Homo-oligomer: A and B are copies of this chain.
């Protein structure tokens, strides 16, 4: 059994109260006393019981991470994000609890689950725009940070990369290479990022006075297979296309394979830009030009906002808008070469 405050009190000869205060660094304890108490604590290998501590202080020292929708939110993503969250959380002496729910609970259910466990807030990733409870989030009395879904409230905010800018960079890159007829394979419309990425594509095209009929854009669903279908569809309908902006690396790989299967060379006949810079982007052939999202920082900042809200009830959460960067690789080249 681990030593308790009482044990330390007994050994040091002081009251439990004084021991508590000494150990918590309160100023109303004489240096001499503190020293004696510290020694006793050390001798007993005393470690405060956080469970007891929390019961009385009601100060949360842990946050939760909800990862909905395991399919869409690809592996590496969440790993890096977790990594970032961990580092931030550790810095503040917080803990990180994981929840993986496919069944989408209501906002209230989630808050209750967290409260029950003494969590101070939660990061939620993988939320679709058509989630019914999304509208309830801003009013919640519970600190929430969403990933890639715009939500703002006194206790709620979201983190995202600037998808518009990212998509726009992709287009700019292609235009700079001389491309003028650029198609897009997008993700499904239940993802906020899809709308943003389309917007970026649109801005990029318009900025250069390029035409992009509706049929230049194919709506996929982030799966590799849908990337394949998108490429097939677009090039069958529009053989004049010389480049494709694909809204995720996984779809881009599908597109790559499909294009090659159709006899096109990449980047000779067709250039392809992905989005995400996942692990495998560098390993496919040709290596994929893509827009990198810094998921580590993403996670770090998500945790930071959350903890700020928890530690200061008056803190107004800030939307975190991360830049993303183009990584030029082999899948893009000059137009008409």
Contacts and interface: CB of A to CB of B under 8 A. Distances in A.
A51 B95 CA distance: 15
A207 interface: no
B283 A118 contact: no
Given A47-B115, A283-B283, A95 B95 contact: no
Contacts of A76: 75-76, 79, 279
A112 B280 contact: no
A177 interface: no
Contact of A54 (B51, B78, B80, B83): B51
Interface stretch (A15-23, A96-104, A124-132, A240-248): A96-104
A62 B98 CA distance: 11
Contacts of A75: 75-76, 79-80, 279
Interface in A30-70: 45, 47-52, 54-55, 62, 70
Copies in the complex: 2
Contact of A51 (B51, B83, B253): B51
A284 interface: yes
Interface in A71-90: 75-76, 78-80, 82-83, 86-87, 90
Contacts of A55: 49, 51-52, 55
A223 B100 CA distance: 30
A227 to B, nearest CB: 12
Interface string A280-314: 10011100000000000000000000000000000
Given A52-B55, A279-B280, A117 B100 contact: no
Contact of A116 (B47, B78, B87, B99): B47
Nearest to A282: B280
Contacts of A70: 83
B100 A283 contact: no
Contacts of A100: 82-83, 86-87, 90
Nearest to A85: B98
Interface in A261-284: 278-280, 283-284
Contacts of A118: 49-51
Given A52-B55, A82-B98, A284-B284, 4 more contacts: A45-B112, A51-B118, A75-B279, A280-B280
14 contacts: A45-B112, A47-B112, A51-B54, A51-B117, A51-B118, A75-B79, A76-B76, A78-B79, A79-B79, A90-B100, A96-B97, A98-B98, A284-B285, A285-B285
Interface of A: 2, 45, 47-52, 54-55, 62, 70, 75-76, 78-80, 82-83, 86-87, 90, 95-100, 112, 115-118, 253, 278-280, 283-285
Q: Which 8 A-B pairs have the closest CB atoms?
A: A280-B280, A86-B100, A75-B79, A51-B118, A75-B76, A285-B285, A96-B98, A280-B283
